[in-house]
Amino acid sequence: MRPSLEGGMFYRILIANRGEIALRIMRTARRLGYGVVAVYSDADRDARHVREADHAVRIGEALPSQSYLKIDAIIAAAKASGAGAVHPGYGFLAENEEFARACRDAGLVFIGPSPEAIRAMGNKAGAKEIMQKAGVPCVPGYQGADQSDEVMLAEARRIGFPVMIKAVAGGGGRGMRLVSDAASFPDALRNARSEALGAFGDATVILERAILDPRHIEIQVFGDRHGNAIHLGERDCSVQRRHQKLIEEAPSPAVSPGLRARMGAVAVQAVKALRYEGAGTLEFLLDGNGDFYFMEMNTRLQVEHPVTEAVTGVDLVELQLRVARGEPLGVKQEDITFSGHAIEVRLCSEDAAHDFMPQSGRMARWQMPEGVRVEHALESGSEIPPFYDSMIAKIISHGADRREARSKLIVALEQVEAFGVTTNQGFLISCLRHPAFAKGEATTSFIGAHRNELLAPRADESADAALVALLLYVTHPHAPPWRSGRSLAATFPLGLRIDLGRGLREVEIARERAGGYVVDVEGHVHRFEIDELGPDAIRYRTNGLMERATFLRDGDRLYVLHHDVTLAVRDLTLAPPEAAAGANGDGKVRAAMNGRVVSVLVKPGEQVAAGQPVMTLEAMKMEHVHTAAVAGTVSAIDVAEGEQVTTGRIVVEIEAAA
């Protein structure tokens, strides 16, 4: 039990987080009459959550380890600002028992469970033992103290492949590997440990039998210090990439009222056994037979909590604050009712076409849709730093049923204007439109099974190329002013070279005497009539169809929202031909993203094979292994471990074998 602060009272809350979750907590806190304090790193000095807080305190440099993970700096910020309570949000220190204890020792109310509960459930091995004693079904596995390579491999063989390797600390897919056979186990174990150590400071892992093709179902629970506990139904979080969720919904298409009651009862039983206070989530794997297995408990508010709020009408942050003040829940299980269906997507700054590579940089234009709930902290001109998670917004729809919620969400995503940094907008739309998802059949293998379909090129890429080339032509700073109607004379074709992300396209554009434009994309001819051309939108006709597109010109780059997808094009007409070196054909390994060098895996003079890992970079909380494109000898290492590098920088040089 935490010591009371005037009986659990507090009047100002410090939010030990950043971005959209900080703003979301501020919204409820202010509605309930609390003052709010933000913290920020050097990278977030001008961020929205800083500007919109009553007070803001700098806590360190850009890297999380130098700011948002510095317990002493956050405690000092709370003291300096007069805050009486700390809300950790999610991620960073939200499930750190030392942080919860430091708050308690400093006389601050930690808006979350006790340090003891966090410790008990934060370690996956210990959590499974507690759940087994509480009668909760668990996945068979190994969570022993002997972490030697030999024992781990022997235990994996005993469990039977495929197995999952999981870091005992943290979550979010970091330190997790699916291993299909004994031969690939040692490398997977080494990589999982490395990632876990870098992310959580603990390389310890557990093994679990891989439940193939399950659904990922989680139960939202709440407990108070008076012994009350409830659940608020389930969320289906099966659509994932890299074991990280992309789409969440409530209720699950696969959970019947009877199954919901059984899973909820098990979850409440666990909460009461722990004497748990605050918000928590028990995560389960649900197989095709309707059997479910406990995976882990998240002792915090979840990213996907808005879908539960949408179907229950309960403000979960408000409930957190009331429980933290020492109040009873004030709601019984029979009071929890469910209305309609809600779906959330995570809009991330990543390139789905290139293995979901994280992206950072300046978001030149940022316009979110209306008519749905959107949680974000960006605006036009915002910088997306490479140091934090790639999720930049959550878009949540609520409808009378699943069909309506899905349709509303697709329409909302089609309206998103995110120009300047690549996002997964189009990929999310593809997921929502896919027949398997539409039928409610998506499992955790959904993206893997349908990856080629979800990432398939658009049906008529030449039409996209024609439109963006036309926009490059008519919006060029030195282009003659556009006027509607007939032209005095037809123009000679103008040649352009453009890159839409899938290679160079050669385009010719000419204006006809009648006023229209003819655009020839490598033999595919398209005709356009422009009805209206504004500074950021065009209305035109092609093939008898009138269409509209919004755009933004930024130097030699053009961003266009066309047919529900954001297109990013570069004008390379005057640029020299790109050398094959861009594909590492010259033996130079280049950073694929802005990130931090985690480990250098080779040494100068070492012989390497094509495809051999040579360096690991960390960007947006994920590790990315860079490999040699050619076989040869390492001639130079151009970076050091811990160094921050930018996209395209040469990190390793290899002299190709003769």
- What is each CA distance from 223 to 89, 102, 220, 281, 316, in whole angstroms? 17, 22, 11, 11, 12
Q: Rounded CA gap, 282 and 128, in Å?
A: 11
**Burial 561-577, CB ≥16 within 10 A → b, else e:** bbbbbbbbbbbbbeeee
Catalytic: which of 300, 325, 346, 596?
A: 300
Assigned token pair, 422: 């690549």
Cβ atoms of 15 and 37 within 8 Å: the answer is: yes
Q: What is the DSSP annotation of 373-435?
A: EEEE---TTEEE-TTS-SEEEEEEEEESSHHHHHHHHHHHHHT-EEESS--SHHHHHHHHHSH
Q: How far apart are CA 332 and CA 114, in angstroms?
A: 22
Cα angle for residues 505, 507, 513 (degrees, 5° grid) = 165
Can 300 be counted among the known catalytic residues?
Answer: yes
The owner of tokens 């197989």 is: 287
Round to whole Å and give the CA distance between 134 and 266. Answer: 9
- Decide: helix, strand or coil at residue 174: coil
6: left (phi over 0), alpha (psi -120 to 50) or beta: left
Which positions ≥6 away from 37 have C-beta within 8 Å?
12, 13, 14, 15, 53, 54, 55, 56, 57, 77, 78, 81, 83
C-alpha R_g of the chain: 27
Count CB neighbours of 493 within 10 A: 14
**Which residues does residue 343 pair with via DSSP β-bridges, in sequence order?**
249, 397
**Residue 497 and residue 481: Cα distance in Å, rounded?**
22
- CB contact at 8 A, 638 and 644: no
Which residue type is seen at 527?
R
Count of helix runs (H) and strand runs (E) in the chain: 16, 39
Distance, in Å, from the CA atom of 279 to the CA atom of 298, rounded to the nearest integer, reads 9
Residue with tokens 């933290």: 324
Q: What residues are annotated to the active site? A: 300
